[in-house]
Structure 1
Amino acid sequence: MKPPTPFSDPPALCGLPSPYYTPSHVAWRKACRSFIDQNLTVHAMDWEREGAVPEHVFHTFAASNMLVPSLPAPLPVGWLKRLGIHHVLNTVKVEDWDYIHTAIYTDEMTRSGLQGPAASLTTGFSYAIPPILKFGSQQLQERSLPDLLLGKKRVCIAITEPNTGSDVAGVQTTATKTPDGKHYMVNGTKKWITNGIWSSYATMAVRTSGPGPSGLSLLLVPLLNYPGVSMRKIKVAGHLTSGTTFIELDEVKVPVENLIGQEGQGMKYIMTNFNHERLTLAIAVTRQARVALAAAFDYCLQREAFGKTLMEQPVVRHRLAKAGALLESQWAWIEQFVYQMTKLGKLEADVELGGLTALAKAQAGIVLDECARCAVLLFGGNGFTTSGRGEIAERIYRDVPGARIPGGSEDVMLDLAVRQLVKNYQNKTKALERPQGSSKL
């Protein structure tokens, strides 16, 4: 059996010991890879060329409960069992699921090296359903979750607007109650909304009162074929199959019962939701970097120039080594990070790891940029061509901005990370101070 190309898989899959993976994780990786290879990975490049993932793929994944792993861990066991979902691929019971299982799934879903095909399937489960599960009323959950969790209807997350990206507090889409108090009238626009074009609903950030974060709320807004809603796909540089959408909302009438949680708490809900989004993005993006670098490594072993292979050129080895060190360091950090998620409660993880999640997401984009650029340069003209031997490098390099901007743009993430670390440090320092007027330590 041919040994794995260097950098092509995480060290634990290349025979090296790891403290993180139990027999359950190993069995899950095997079952997960087999299913995803057959139903996604082998077709991903063709679908990316065509610009669309066939609708039946979503239903195939849903029927096998293979969209459920996109949800944050631990899984919503009560709801899943009510709907007859007791395990995933007959391998992991839903009550035994942890964040390492989630990381394995996210890593495998991007093993084609392309973000678009996976994002076309998982975005709604990953980012739009969790707020309903965590903060939605029982009545809203009963009306929406059965169809959403079983994949009978699709949902997207709609935060970003033409003039509001990482500055979530600047959302301008309004939701104003009707005089009888029974409905919200929603007006505004949403842009760069992944999966929007196929979604029956959006978990949407809306402004229900004055300016700033205290005026934001979350609302489950009907989309497909709903009065007042207009949607069209947007052409973007990468993620060609992810259904990036522009949404216009003109006097869209939404029942007040579709409010998620409480009015004015939207910013809190969104920030909590971002942690899962950013961590899964970091995992997927690091796999993309791995695919790019491994493809370049293989090519350099075969391609000859100036009478010898590229791999025999010191400058080439230096470039691969530099990118490889960044890649494996990033993956080691992610594994450590995910392990910590299995040991911390949700509230503690949000405090201790919230800022670091932003940093991990930002760093993943930086590592992808280095690895993808390295691959394109080593592939030479083939890496600048949209077909042939270097196509995978060209495609991944095109996806780089999609790693560094969505989910919180890189500079904002770097700043957020340090601000959160400073806040935690100051809070812990203050907790150690002697109470005024007390002799107690």
Structure 2
Amino acid sequence: MSSSPVVPFSEPPYIAGLPSPYYKPTHLRWQKACREFISKNLLENALQWDTEETVPQHVFETFANAGMLIPSLPAPLPVEWLKRLGIHDILGAVKVEEFDYLHTMIYCDEMTRSGLAGPSGSLTTGISFGVPPILKFGNKRLQERFLPELLTGKKRTCIAITEPEAGSDVANITTTATKTSDGKHYIVNGTKKWITNGIWSEYSSMAVRTGGPGPTGLSMLVVPLKGYPGVTMRRLKVGGQVSAGTTFIELDDVKVPVENLIGTEGAGMRYVMTNFNHERLTIAIGATRQARVALAAATEYILKREAFGKPLVEQPVVRQRLARCGAMVESQWAWVEQFAYQMTQLPKEVADIELGGLTAMAKAQAGIVLNECAQCAQLLFGGNGYTKSGQGELIERIYREAPGIRIPGGSEDVMMDLGVRQLVKNFKNKTQAMERPKGSSKL
């Protein structure tokens, strides 16, 4: 809770001093510890590193050594594994066994306080989305081989699903994994595109086609990347999130042991879709903070910038624009905050069904809100917000990042459609379950 005046829209209400039903002392301790660590080790230089398009390796190592990559995993955390590795708490602020989705939300929010998704994404995207399939669906032998190094940050991984011709259309992935005649290896051929963190990763949790067309032909493999025979990687130049290591991967007769199969053949589509819920919720949380950073910066600017003989804040049209976006960002925060709380109350299998469609919609809406708030900030900054240096530099950068929320992780239109389809499906299933059995005379 802040004890000094807070710039309007700059902090979530619970930090600004307003009461909330969600947060316990463990969450408030965690927020303070996160802010101190992340401010010192990431945010102070985030804009510079993003300009240079790469966050230095020592930053990743600092976060790994402090256990500060682990909070990017879905909650609850893999407590048994972490304790085996000697990790009992994070920053001394929260025990691994008490970590819940509100802690996750706080972490994602604090990691994006620079206003940029690239610097934090360069550290966390791989472990956040690449490790869960192994944790959730990998057999004990697979976990023993990979988790010790991945959970401690000694090795890096990524999630590799998207292809040049298959983005949101996951069911039509064409990268193939064909078994050798002796049944001991898969031979992987194909391309993956827009793979965040790929360029730095020793491994990937990769969606591949082991069977026929459609979703039932998909599986997931742990495919080695960096320096592995048959794998060629290059960084892609993208409009935003430029420091996150967006990568194009070519796979030419890549030989992968069959023991690297995650779960069972043909179940890959289910694994991918389950993983998307965590990905989309964390994207929504981070994007909401980005929108908040843009709007708060605009608020500070209009308080001091004068035009036509008075500060901009005294112009009704300026206040109207700010109010409209302020209502959007606070409403969006209330939604993701509600999501995080619901995740602490529902069993995962129930949350996947009940919240899956809504999570897709929340992610899409976060992109819309970010776009509106970044555009508002740029207009209020005027020429300064359109300049890649000076006092509007951050605003110009944030506005370029908005498409990086609206497209990756499931494009906006697809997410909105998916959300409604999932809600309708749930409704029909519940309605059908209530209908009396055929031939029954019971009311």
How far residue 83 of structure 1 moved from its aligned partner, in angstroms, is 0.4
Q: How many residues align?
A: 441
User: Are residues 1:422 and 2:424 paired?
Assistant: yes
| Residue-by-residue CA offset, 1:173-222 (whole Å, 9 max, x unaligned) | 00000000000000000000000000000100000011110100000000
Q: Distance in 2 between matches of 1:426 and 1:71?
A: 32
Counterpart of 2:165 in structure 1 is: 163
TM-score by length of 1: 0.99
Q: SS in structure 2 opposite 1:155?
A: coil
User: Are residues 1:282 and 2:284 paired?
Assistant: yes
Q: Distance in 1 between matches of 2:137 and 2:284?
A: 25
Gaps of 5+ in 1: none
Q: What fraction of aligned residue pairs are identical, expressed as a percent?
A: 72
Counterpart of 1:137 in structure 2 is: 139
Q: SS in structure 2 opposite 1:323?
A: helix
Counterpart of 1:365 in structure 2 is: 367
User: Are residues 1:45 and 2:44 paired?
Assistant: no
How far residue 28 of structure 1 moved from its aligned partner, in angstroms, is 0.4
TM-score by length of 2: 0.99
How far residue 440 of structure 1 moved from its aligned partner, in angstroms, is 2.7
| Residue-by-residue CA offset, 1:232-269 (whole Å, 9 max, x unaligned) | 00000000100000000000000000000000000000
Counterpart of 2:104 in structure 1 is: 102
Runs of 4+ displaced beyond 6 Å: none
| Residue-by-residue CA offset, 1:361-416 (whole Å, 9 max, x unaligned) | 00000000100000000000000001111111101001000000010000000000
Q: For 1:14-93, what aligned pairs fall within 5 Å after superposition? A: 14-93=16-95
Q: For 1:33-432, what aligned pairs fall within 5 Å after superposition? A: 33-432=35-434
Q: Distance in 2 between matches of 1:280 and 1:157?
A: 15
Q: SS in structure 2 opposite 1:210?
A: coil
Q: Distance in 2 between matches of 1:392 and 1:124?
A: 25
Q: SS in structure 1 opposite 2:388?
A: coil
Q: Distance in 2 between matches of 1:115 and 1:164?
A: 24
Q: Distance in 2 between matches of 1:440 and 1:346?
A: 34
| Residue-by-residue CA offset, 1:133-181 (whole Å, 9 max, x unaligned) | 0001111110000000010000010000111100001101000000000
Q: Distance in 2 between matches of 1:59 and 1:440?
A: 65
Q: Distance in 1 between matches of 2:235 and 2:303?
A: 41
Q: Distance in 2 between matches of 1:290 and 1:223?
A: 37
Q: SS in structure 2 opposite 1:172?
A: coil
One-letter code aligned to 2:340: V
Q: Distance in 2 between matches of 1:152 and 1:20?
A: 35
Indicate the RMSD between aligned Cα atoms, in angstroms.
Answer: 0.7
One-letter code aligned to 1:103: M
| Residue-by-residue CA offset, 1:294-333 (whole Å, 9 max, x unaligned) | 0000000010111111101000000000000011001011
Q: Distance in 2 between matches of 1:312 and 1:33?
A: 33
How far residue 439 of structure 1 moved from its aligned partner, in angstroms, is 2.8
Q: Distance in 2 between matches of 1:164 and 1:99?
A: 31
Q: Distance in 2 between matches of 1:434 and 1:229?
A: 56
| Residue-by-residue CA offset, 1:29-77 (whole Å, 9 max, x unaligned) | 0001000000001110010111110000001000000000000000000
